[in-house]
Amino acid sequence: MTNEREPPPAYYIGMEVVIALASVLGNVMVVWAVKINRSLRDTTFYFVVSLALADIAVGALAIPLAITISTGLKTHFYSCLMVACIMLVLTQSSILALLAIAIDRYLRVKIPLSYKRVVTPRRAGTAVIACWLVALIVGLIPMLGWNNVGKLNQTNNSQGPGMVTCEFEEVVSMEYMVYFNFFGWMLPPLVLMLVIYFEIFYMIHKQLNKKLNKAASQADPRRYYGKELKLAKSLALVLFFFAISWLPLHILNCITLFCPGHKTQDLIFVAILLTHGNSAVNPVIYAFRIKKFRVAFIRIWEHYVCCKKRNRLPRKATRRMDCPEIMRRNNDI
């Protein structure tokens, strides 16, 4: 770790601002779409909303804090550590939300007849709360002692007692990041999700390829599993982008621990941008891959534009009636 810190490149600041805006706007649209579209209010989308809320927090809170500390801000050790822990909590909540989504889709395919009896809205809400509680515990462990305060106390800190140049690696222990966070709470859920989605696709294809004896009973099961296959592919794509966005930074953390000095600052900035950019990707996937979201996004936009035109052109009665009509249609999506 060096004491001098170069200012972040202009591309990094610019990209962070764009990602923050896209994350907030896109994921607000996701939450809004679930709110106005009754057909999206099933148990799976409880977890989708939880994931969207975490991504909103990344754009509105974590990215501005990341930009601030990238300038080499000098602050108290535990203030800097709390900033780092916020990102850890949000990341862990995203991982657990993705795991909950995978388990939910597995149950939907494994036990289609009893799914609604087993996975109730109350249980789904409890699972969301449990995911956030576990994320808080895992992410706040550095605040409880697993941090670099001991290492810093062994060196003569010219910035004063308890003051540091606020950098993630300055305050968070790489042993925690690699052994506990990566090997303990990221890789196992990712591997488990890969196994779950593999099993989901296997079961769906098995059902779709099965030759049913009764022609009358053939349509409904094939339609059900066809819809499940399409949605599973979309949610697996969300998982894929999460993995490729976060693995590079965790690999760099492993390099920091096992082979210090073998990475450049630009590489770190690119890896950070990848992790933050993942928060803006999910709404795009939903829009292109899930018709219900796409329709809801379009109607939200139409409602906003329509109301805006109505205020500008009050003399046309037809325009006055458009917005209430669209609002009624939104409630019936």
**Six-digit token pair at 55?**
């991504």
Q: Please say if the pLDDT value at position 324 is more than 50.
A: no
Please state, in angstroms and rounded to a whole number, the distance separating the CA atoms of residues 149 and 153.
Answer: 6
- pLDDT of 277 reads 93
- pLDDT of 134 reads 97
pLDDT band at 38 (very low <50, low <70, confident <90, very high): confident
- pLDDT of 259 reads 86
Residue where the block lists tokens 């591997």: 191
Phi then psi dihedrals of residue 164, to 5 deg? -140, 160
Percent of the chain surpassing pLDDT 90: 54
- For 288-319, letters b (16+ CB in 10 Å) and e give ebbebbebbbebbeebeebbeebeeeeeeeeb
Mind listing the pLDDT tens digit for each residue in 117-169?
A: 999 999 999 999 999 999 999 999 999 999 998 888 777 555 555 788 888 88
Q: Please say if the pLDDT value at position 3 is more than 70.
A: no
- pLDDT of 315 reads 40
Q: Give the H/E segment covering residue 76.
A: strand 74-76
Among residues 74, 84, 83, 81, the alpha carbon closest in space to that of 158 is found at 74
Q: Please say if the pLDDT value at position 82 is more than 60.
A: yes
- For 210-238, letters b (16+ CB in 10 Å) and e give eeeeeeeeeeeeeeebeebbebbeebbeb
- pLDDT of 84 reads 92
Among residues 270, 95, 70, 273, the alpha carbon closest in space to that of 181 is found at 95
The reported pTM is 0.84
Q: Please say if the pLDDT value at position 2 is more than 80.
A: no
Lowest mean pLDDT among 44-58, 186-200, 228-242, 301-315: 301-315
pLDDT band at 303 (very low <50, low <70, confident <90, very high): confident
* Domain 10-289 fold: Rhopdopsin 7-helix transmembrane proteins (1.20.1070)
Q: Please say if the pLDDT value at position 57 is more than 60.
A: yes
Among residues 294, 273, 274, the alpha carbon closest in space to that of 285 is found at 294
- pLDDT of 333 reads 36
